[in-house]
Structure formats: structure tokens, C-alpha cells
Amino acid sequence: MGEFVRLEVADGVGTIRLDRAPVNALNNQVQAELGEAAREATDRADVRAVILYGGEKTFAGGADIKEMAAKSYAEISTFGTALTNSLTALAEIPKPTVAAVTGYALGGGLELALTADRRVAGDNVKVGQPEIQLGIIPGAGGTQRLARLIGPSKAKDLIYTGRFVKAEEALALGIVDEVVAPDDVYSVAHKWAAQFANGPALALRAAKAAIDGGLDLDLRNGLKLETSLFTALWATEDQAGGMASFIENGPGKATFEGK
């Protein structure tokens, strides 16, 4: 457990909780602890789904600008690579992930939210990539994950202008998937994650690998990847049990062991 980031686990759901007052700014230590939490969530068999959460007030206000401004080129090169690697570790958690977004998700904070499979936001949130206002560009996935999520034209508008986007527009653009009352953000995210706590973990892993991996491939090779992951599931106990349950009892009644 880190000083500013911790993994809390209960009933199959792991919550990666940021807690660096006042706005969860992503400094050297936070990015390192995010990577550690991602690896722990990946390795722990008792974690079947993951929530990214910054608390009730704000998700993450972005990078620690005071710390970044003082860095040399060599230092920022090391930091930028480390931050990207930590966020990539979060994106590659082979389990369903959801970001519970409150308050602000700006710059590195939005890049952090973009690593999740799904984003639930409060109706008072503001998101954006304001790096251009500092004379820089997003450096931890914003130009890549955002463009893949909402398309290059919309991503360019947000990144070129650096403007803040309110919840309603973020939903319309597809940056967030669900908007709820601020007090309900975590509970709604938890409800989504909890449905996978007793699910077929290896099939869920394969589904995520097929979707995410296929986005980097042309259709022909994406289909080959899907076929390989699909057929590999015949080596699992969950496939045998799931199909037997369907034949005997109908759909939706199987019990899975994650094996």
C-alpha cells in the first residue's frame, strides 16, 4: 500500500484509491504507486474487477505542474516514460475496469480515466486536456486513447483548445459512459464492477484482450486474434461448466470458478 495510492479489496472488487490532497495531482510518487497498484490488481486472484477512484471531491486534477516545471529535459523524459508505463499498466489490467469520476478529471487526470474500460461521472464534473495552455501537449495517452475513443476530429478540438468539458457534453462525445448524481458516482461504478465478481474471469480476460488488441490490427488479423482467444477458452473449466449449465438449466444460471 502506497502513501497516496492504495488498493482496497472487498467481495471480488478492487478499488484503486487516489488520496493526495487537495486534487490528487500526479507527481513522481503518485505515478509510481499507480503502477504498483495496477500490478497488484493484475496479480491478485481475489480481484475480479477494478474501480479507479479519487474520492468524493475530485478524481484527479492533472499532473503536478510545480514539480514538472522544474524538471530538465532529461528528467521529464524519464518522468514521462514512467507515467506512460504506469497508466499503461492500468489499461492492461486483464479484468473489467471502471473509473468513478468526481469533480475534475483534467490533463493527466483524464488520461488516467481513459485507461478504464468504462467511465461513470457525476453531473457536475469537468474533463479536458488543457496542456496546450501550458505550451505542451498531453503526454500520457491523451492524444492516443482519446482519439481512439471519440475520433480524431473531436479529440483535436479538445486538445487544440484545451477547453473544459462539462458532464453533458462529455457524455455526448463519448468521453464518459454514464452521468449520475455526484453522491452516486462510486456506488454506480461499484454496481457495474460487482457483476463480474463471480463471472468467468478467463473469458472476461480474453474478451478484453481481443477488443483492445484488435484495435491495433487490421480486420483480418484482428479476427485471427479473436479466433485464437476464443478457441483457447475450451481449455478452461468455466467453458465446460458454463455450457453444461446452459444445456441442463438454460441461460444465465452457470456458476463460474475463474478457472
Active site residue 40: no
The residue annotated as part of the active site, out of 111, 168, 237, 248, is: 111
Separation of alpha carbons 11 and 225, rounded Å: 32
Amino acid sitting at position 186: Y
Question: Which phi and psi angles does 98 have, rounded to 5°?
Answer: -140, 135
The residue annotated as part of the active site, out of 8, 131, 168, 248, is: 131
| Grid coordinates given for 81 | 516514460
| Grid coordinates given for 197 | 465478481
Q: Please give the angle made by the CA atoms of 112, 32 and 139, to the nearest 5 degrees.
A: 45
Amino acid sitting at position 176: V
Active site residue 111: yes
Amino acid sitting at position 233: L
Q: Chain centroid to CA 17: how far?
A: 13
- The set of catalytic residues is 111, 131
